[in-house]
Amino acid sequence: MRYLPLAFDVKGRNCLLVGGGAVATRKARLLARAGARLLVVSPQITEELQQLLEQSDGRFFQAEYRADFLDSAELVVAATADSDINRAVSTDARSRRLPVNVVDAPKLCTFTFPAIVERGPVSIGISSGGAAPVLARRIRAQLEALLSPGIASLAELAARMRDRVKAALPEAQRKDFWQWVFTGPVASKVEGGKVSEGEAELLAALQQWAGRPAPGGEVYLVGGGPGDPDLLTFRALRLMQQADVVLYDRLVSPQVLDLVRRDAERIYVGKKKEFHSVPQEGINQLLVDQALQGKKVLRLKGGDPFIFGRGGEEIDKLAEARIPFQVVPGITAASGCSSYAGIPLTHRDHAQSVRFITGHLKQGELELPWAELASPGQTLVFYMGLTGLETICKQLAANGLPEDTPAALVEKGTTREQRVVVGNISTLPALAVTEEVEAPALTIVGGVVSLHEKLRWYKPE
């Protein structure tokens, strides 16, 4: 994201517009609509621009551009047909640290005009940073069709009632109350044109809410999937948007974390090899402590919280403390990474069962039922097995699994950084070293790995 979307208050402020043609007039319309005082520099201007100047109590300088016209400006727009003048305006404005936009020249801009969807006090800006303005306008058209014109009335009602609600309800209740207002009968009435009825219903509900005890906290144990945000469930996304605080680990991808409510407090509790930023007992207690403060707490985990995610330990502590919780399963790494690698976990010709195994070394040892794991006709998926990969492959071979059994490592599966390294249980440990495979990586062993080359469909650039 090169441009940070901001809402700029230009009401009553001097905005300098260099240019007087059709393009300059379009920019003037936007500025005047936001209450700006227009200052226009150009040898001549359109009739509409002259009218906009009069309406905004602006001023027209019938002249060629000079740097001293910037003296009283707080924001600058260059919209002439002369690229040299536009470049000079940009240079002069930047030297004075004034925000400047040069139409159709993103490299000369410090801000751009988004495509705007407006519903009264509510405005939505769609920006491509000047890269694809036609695409931004297309998205705007789609949003225009989705949003009811009545949203303006709903926003105006919320503005009128904001102080009253703030005085009546504590912060924890206010968020839930407004959520109810915007999704319930009040919104239906107001958007349907029955503003008075909607306002009366809001006030009646406010009295009832004010008499309720403050809500207690709750914990959402949510599986964030293997990395691709498109693999989140609808319920996971909804709860991610409701949380007041989020505890997340190392396996949650940045793209998934970006979908958490922006003003939520974020606490990193991830674990790396031989390093735990917060011990598991500390995480369990932190969930309890945050919920006891009345907060909605999101415990966001990579994959599925109940598959090698210690989710059961965490909700056990919550149950002891009588704190309400919800569990939202996620697509586990075995399913997601194998699918994106084109490796079906079961196949009639290769595997009739699949086993998920933790490959995490405990005190340098892996105590697993190796004879069972070396049985034919199954697929083995090792989580956290990169460090113990050599041990895993040697033990499988020592217990009777043929050394030419196909095996693969899927690094950063489902993300754009995904890599798949394929070999067999004899060659895979050396391949992991030469290919410099890094965690997180999943190990898949079995005949199904031989289908990778034929079935791989996901080829990230």
Point out which residues pair with 75 in neighbouring strands: 15
Q: What is the dihedral of CA 272, 428, 352, 251, to 10 degrees?
A: 20
SS (H, E, C) the chain: CCCCCCCCCCCCCEEEEECCCHHHHHHHHHHHHCCCEEEEECCCCCHHHHHHHHHCCCEEECCCCCHHHHCCCCEEEECCCCHHHHHHHHHHHHHCCCCEEECCCHHHCCCCCCEEEEECCEEEEECCCCCCHHHHHHHHHHHHHHCCCCHHHHHHHHHHHHHHHHHHCCHHHHHHHHHHHHHCHHHHHHHCCCHHHHHHHHHHHHHHHHCCCCCCCEEEEEECECCCHHHCCHHHHHHHCCCCEEEECCCCCHHHHCCCCCCCEEEECCEECCEECCCHHHHHHHHHHHHHCCCEEEEEECECCCCCCCHHHHHHHHHHCCCCEEEECCCCHHHHHHHHCCCCCCECCCECEEEEEECCCECCECCCCHHHHCCCCEEEEEECCCCCHHHHHHHHHHCCCCCCCEEEEEECCCCCCCEEEEEECCCHHHHHHHCCCCCCEEEEECHHHHHHHHHCCCCCC
Query: Known binder of ligand: residue 307?
Result: yes
Query: Known binder of ligand: residue 333?
Result: yes
Pick the catalytic residue: 27, 249, 295, 317? 249
Query: Known binder of ligand: residue 400?
Result: no
Query: Known binder of ligand: residue 213?
Result: no
Query: Known binder of ligand: residue 384?
Result: yes
Query: Known binder of ligand: residue 332?
Result: yes
Strands 100-102 and 75-78: parallel
Query: Known binder of ligand: residue 22?
Result: yes
Q: How far apart are CA 334 and CA 383, in angstroms?
A: 8
Pick the catalytic residue: 175, 176, 194, 271? 271
CB-neighbour burial class of residue 457 (10 A; exposed 0-12, middle 13-18, buried 19+): exposed
Query: Known binder of ligand: residue 303?
Result: yes
In the residue annotation, 249 being an active-site residue is answered as yes
Query: Known binder of ligand: residue 44?
Result: yes
Annotated binding site for S-adenosyl-L-methionine: 226, 302-304, 307, 332-333, 384, 413
Where is the binding site, in residues?
A: 22-23, 43-44, 226, 302-304, 307, 332-333, 384, 413
Catalytic site positions: 249, 271
Binding site for NAD(+): which residues?
A: 22-23, 43-44
